[in-house]
Structure 1
């Protein structure tokens, strides 16, 4: 969905929640192939049985990719991604877990580029049990409605 939302239109604590997505074995194998990360934690079921979680866990970078992808249901023509800060993988994600993203506007501030402000979204990826599995800050460079 396309929308036009300017810096001035963002409100602190404003929230949106994405739809859910179930993590599959195929997701993990494809991600391992794309990244070259074949660590046994992700791809070796038998080895994982000897480890604390007793089963394979999804790559953190996979959860980041899918979690952020879930937030991309709204395309704001007045903003662009400026980067990500404070990325943390808080709990493991297993095959069969269903995750969704909760996005909360946490701050707004001026930017050195005239006519733009910086909006920070706190992104929390949550599993089916309500546990936060990943969190980060998404920085958006957003046009102002009223140019300076």
Structure 2
């Protein structure tokens, strides 16, 4: 990683980037359960999940989201900060051993309502797919980005 200055004006709607793959492991699931306190049997009980529709343990949606967002983190940009996430949807389950990849595409730009001369919002559509090419999670990541002085 290195530091870059990328201003609001430098982003173009339609530009995209893609990650390499990352396999979700049992350790990921166990650690996330410990960090969040979510020990639901859907994630932790291999025998019980054999009796359920998916037939195996599933990764926490919040785990997949966290990993996916981390996979999109790249260069440090002092001109931008995460403003939050909208429209988060867990489309399909992610199982232990699945490999996810992430694409992130600039879908929209808008001026800050109170300080339009100083900053704006960049909306990035984040799509997470598994090794079969199936979409498992989508969200919109919003960035607050400074404009050139």
> TM (normalized to structure 2)?
0.94
Structure 2: runs of 5 or more not aligned: none
How many pairs align?
146
Unaligned runs of 5+ in 1: none
Q: Which residue of 1 aligns with 2:22?
A: 21
CA distance in 2, matches of 1:3, 1:105: 18
What's 1:60 paired with? 61
Name the counterpart of 2:42. Answer: 41
Which residue is equivalent to 1:142?
A: 145
Q: What is the TM-score of this pair, normalised by structure 1?
A: 0.95
The Cα shift of 1:75 comes to 2.1
Q: Secondary structure at the match of 1:75?
A: coil
Q: Secondary structure at the match of 1:11?
A: coil
Separation (CA, whole Å) in 2 of partners of 1:74 and 1:18: 13
RMSD between aligned residues: 1.0
What pairs up with 1:1-148 in 2 under 5 angstroms?
1=1, 2-111=3-112, 112-113=114-115, 114-145=117-148, 147=149
